Structure 1
Amino acid sequence: MGALLALTSAVCYGAVDFAGGLLSRRVHFTVVTFLGQVGGLLFAVVAAALVPAETVRPSDAVWGALSGAGSGTAMHFLNRGLSRGAMSIVVPVSAVTGVALSVLSGVFLLGDQPTGAAWLGICLTLPALWLVSGGSRPGRGGDGREASVDGLIASSGVALQYIGLAQAAPASGLWPVAAGRLAAVLLLSPSAWRQDHRFRQPVRRLGEAVVVGAGASFALILYLLAARRQMMAIAVVLASLYPAIPTVLGLAVLHERATRTQVIGLVGSAVAIVLLTLG
């Protein structure tokens, strides 16, 4: 059940990334990022109120807030890298490094012990994510270095997001996700305030950004439920396969052509899923 929840989280995250990417072509990424977190907060609060929670300790709220700080940091630097036109660098760097940091933390700090099949799946996931994200094209010069820095900082945020959320006690229900969305909104508010003129958009566009954020919050809730049923190292890897979804949707919806490296990455991702599920 945990593996299925993590995979569903990846599908939701991937669909949200695809929709957010299309929206960012028409609306500045600052607007999409901030209103997305607002939408995520609204959805998380409603979901948390509907799901019974035995007790919410201060530590659960703190872990949730740290997770949200990671989310806000990851989205800011990921979108900054994307705004520079460096998708082929920042996406694979953030995805692969974020997974590696999360898995290493789970094994060495939390005592996770993946099976042999699971380790093989983890090792296969890293190059698969790199290939499916288009990471075979290295950046050059200053832009490449700046994009790599954006990707590395974003990956640290991704790792903090997953690790922090997994530390909240099951008795806290979904309130850690709500605490995280609140922390992300507060973290991104200064940047949004400085770019307030960017928010002069049609109401429909602003509403789409809110809906995208609500979808991301739902994906995080699915990950949280998966991490409570599955060791974090496995849940993180399965949930982090989301970059494959925009690639598949691009092929199916936008009729894009897959490169050979992306096809290899997709096949590798499928094999990794099988191994991780068996593990």
Structure 2
Amino acid sequence: MTAILWALVSALGYGVSDFVGGIASRRVAALRVVLVSYPTALIILTVLAFCAGGELSGSAMLWGSLSGIGSALGIWWFYAALAAGPISIVSPLTAILVSGVPVIAGLALGDRPSALAVAGIGAALIAVVLVSRGVTDEDANPHRFTAKVAWLTVGSGVAFGLSLVLIAPAPADSGLWPLVFVRLAATGLVVVAAAFSGDLGTPDRRTLQLALLVGVLDVIANIAMLAALRGAMLSLAGVLISLYPAATVGLAIVVLKERVSRWQAVGMVLALAAVAMIALG
């Protein structure tokens, strides 16, 4: 039960973080937001890792670094999708992929899902079709679900899912050190990407504040994620963490007044239900 609660805390942290990060990415390039949030999270996690103790092993460094590469690619593409597309559609579709990758990995490692979990996977596939229904480039919404946004969403979901799979084997006695190397590797990759794309630069004061908040939320979500993965099966923890769109979509509807079609609304509800079914199964 404790692991389940940690997973839900992680989902809430990621959901709020994604919303704030998406708003910030509509003001400046997505990479500039991450250039602030990732180093912020790295500094906080390093301090906490020293305080918490744990063995700094080669295995912790390896798995943390590999997970960090997936995390960096995932957040870069995700923020780019949020900046160009509707948050209430991008976030749930990403979540389906994030939940699906750990399930597939769990199956490969010997997990056997129940009939309810299999039904949840089927529901998730239907949700993808429904949420994408009727979204065209001619939509009056300036933030449209275009082909580019779709590819960014898919890439982000797969990368995030792989980052969960790759951090799971980190030794349990390593404390928070795997998370330090997650953010260290991710920060390095983001800096290189920003340098090549010409996005190195400091955002304005308001955006900087949002990016710093993202970094703090990122720390909370990652610590809770690691605790959940250490206390539950990969397939179970992964899909519970993937419930984060509940917070992201709720904030998008309440704060941004985003509107979706009837079929898209049904698809989003089905997407969240699918994640829950997989988790309960």
CA 1:105/1:270 → structure 2, altered by over 3 Å: closer, same or farther?
Answer: closer
Please tell me the residue identity of whatever aligns with 2:161.
A
Partner of 2:25: 24
CA 1:148/1:24 → structure 2, altered by over 3 Å: closer, same or farther?
Answer: closer
- Residues 1-279 of structure 1: pairs in structure 2 closer than 5 A: 1-53=2-54, 55-85=55-85, 91=91, 93-108=93-108, 110-125=109-124, 127-128=126-127, 134-138=131-135, 144-194=146-196, 195=198, 198-199=201-202, 201-202=204-205, 204-257=206-259, 259-261=261-263, 263-265=265-267, 267-268=269-270, 271-272=273-274, 275=277, 278-279=280-281
Instruction: Decide whether the 8 Å contact of 1:28 with 1:198 is kept in 2.
Output: no
Question: Mind listing any 5+ residue stretches in structure 2 that lack a counterpart?
Answer: 139-144
Kindly state the Cα deviation for residue 122 of structure 1 after the two structures are TM-superposed.
4.6
Q: Which moved more, 1:159-168 or 1:110-119?
A: 110-119
Please tell me the residue identity of whatever aligns with 1:112.
D
SS in structure 1 of the partner of residue 231 of structure 2? coil
SS in structure 2 of the partner of residue 228 of structure 1? helix
CA 1:43/1:158 → structure 2, altered by over 3 Å: closer, same or farther?
Answer: same
TM-score, normalised relative to structure 1: 0.83
Separation in structure 1 between the aligned mates of residue 20 and residue 129 of structure 2, nearest angstrom: 21
Instruction: Decide whether the 8 Å contact of 2:239 with 2:279 is kept in 1.
Output: no
Partner of 2:142: none
Kindly state the Cα deviation for residue 153 of structure 1 after the two structures are TM-superposed.
2.5
Kindly state the Cα deviation for residue 52 of structure 1 after the two structures are TM-superposed.
3.2
Separation in structure 1 between the aligned mates of residue 44 and residue 218 of structure 2, nearest angstrom: 10
Separation in structure 1 between the aligned mates of residue 175 and residue 137 of structure 2, nearest angstrom: 46
Instruction: Decide whether the 8 Å contact of 1:10 with 1:239 is kept in 2.
Output: yes
CA 1:173/1:71 → structure 2, altered by over 3 Å: closer, same or farther?
Answer: same
Separation in structure 2 between the aligned mates of residue 189 and residue 138 of structure 1, nearest angstrom: 34
CA 1:255/1:136 → structure 2, altered by over 3 Å: closer, same or farther?
Answer: same
Q: How many residues align?
A: 273
Instruction: Decide whether the 8 Å contact of 2:99 with 2:161 is kept in 1.
Output: yes
Separation in structure 2 between the aligned mates of residue 69 and residue 270 of structure 1, nearest angstrom: 27
Kindly state the Cα deviation for residue 127 of structure 1 after the two structures are TM-superposed.
4.6
CA 1:248/1:56 → structure 2, altered by over 3 Å: closer, same or farther?
Answer: same
Kindly state the Cα deviation for residue 200 of structure 1 after the two structures are TM-superposed.
5.0
Q: Sequence identity of aligned pairs in percent? A: 34
Kindly state the Cα deviation for residue 226 of structure 1 after the two structures are TM-superposed.
0.7
Instruction: Decide whether the 8 Å contact of 2:239 with 2:276 is kept in 1.
Output: no
CA RMSD of aligned residues (A): 3.0
Separation in structure 2 between the aligned mates of residue 182 and residue 271 of structure 1, nearest angstrom: 35
SS in structure 1 of the partner of residue 178 of structure 2? helix
Separation in structure 2 between the aligned mates of residue 181 and residue 130 of structure 1, nearest angstrom: 34
SS in structure 1 of the partner of residue 240 of structure 2? helix
TM-score, normalised relative to structure 2: 0.82
